[in-house]
Amino acid sequence: MAVSSELRGAGLGTRFLIRLAAALATVFLIGVTTGGVGRASAEPVNCKIGAFINSLSDIDTAAGTFVSDFWLWSVCPNEDAEPLKTMEYVNGIDPKLALDSKIERGKQWWSTLKVGGKFRLDFPLENYPFDHQTLKIDLEEGVVDTRELQYAADSASSRVDPDVKLKNWDVTSFRIVAADETHPTTYGDPSLTGGDSTYAHATIEIGLERRSSLADFTKSTFVVFIAATLSLVSLLIIDGRIGLLGAMLFTVVLSFVSLDRVLGPHGSPYLLDKIHLAALAVIMAAGGWGVRSLRAVSLGADKAVIHRQDLRAAYILFGTYVLVNVILVVLAIRG
């Protein structure tokens, strides 16, 4: 009996050790197979992102594109993080990448990349040609979300090369901004339970001021101003008045239609649209007044009286037209 009790005790100890070993093995396997959960709960890697703009060219406000070459870099605390290799150029049109490198600097990893190509941008042209533009290059992490990788802007080292020269523009400002971007989808990520996901995002912003504002304005409005003025001159003549007004109306309409070549297709009226509409209004008003004067003369009214009335109407319309255009231009410059 004593021996049997000892064997039974040994058997219980063995079974306990076997169960303990099985439990430890299960915990180990779960830890291995669910390593992603551990990574998601850990602190995200924070990498500095910076840029140096080498060149800007082919700024096409009507087509909504521009071309830029620039150096891009990242500084990360560990070797595994490679944001430049997983980065998406959100508004890029097939950008070319070259000269990528990765070097350890102390306890950090410094990566660089040369980027060049065309980028899309919706240029606001409501105040053209007195507009200011901001070129934007949007960069975003394309693989892991902000639970694993985040950007910080390297503002101190990022800038535009002072040698960058543009034909019709002056560079007025530069900054790089890091701000996370949230998308209304999880992209099927099973570890996300909500309806959206957030990724590291950075934007390079280059402020521009149009250098040729006055020259562009003159070229775009010279014909319109002449047409509006001649339509008022028609009030001072009798013969050929209607023909002159018709020719000026056709001229302004033709110039109006051609604006899409300069501004691109657009819906709401821009500054140049408003100036053309003001000219059309003056021509229509002059035409209406001219018909009234011709009818009065045909009914026997004194021509000298009608002429003085026409002259007064021409002055009033001209003053109103000039005032409207001054207001439109001042608002555009301030805007």
Per-domain boundaries in the chain: 2-33, 45-211, 214-334
Q: Which amino acid is at 86?
A: T
Task: State mean pLDDT over 10-17.
Answer: 51
Question: Mean pLDDT lowest for which of 167-181, 199-213, 239-253?
Answer: 239-253
Confidence of residue 284 (pLDDT cuts 50, 70, 90): very high
The confidence score (pLDDT) of residue 154 equals 97
Of 43, 216, 59, 234, give the one whose Cα is nearest residue 146: 43
- Per-residue burial over 176-191, b = 16 or more CB atoms within 10 Å of its CB, e = otherwise: bebeebeeeeeeeeee
Higher pLDDT, 267 or 49: 49
What CATH class is the domain 45-211?
mainly beta
Topology annotation, domain 214-334: Methane Monooxygenase Hydroxylase; Chain G, domain 1 (1.20.58)
Confidence of residue 221 (pLDDT cuts 50, 70, 90): very high
Task: State mean pLDDT over 158-183.
Answer: 94
pLDDT in tens, 123-163: 999 999 999 999 999 999 999 999 999 999 999 999 999 99
- Per-residue burial over 297-324, b = 16 or more CB atoms within 10 Å of its CB, e = otherwise: eeeeeeeeebbebbeebbeebbeebeeb
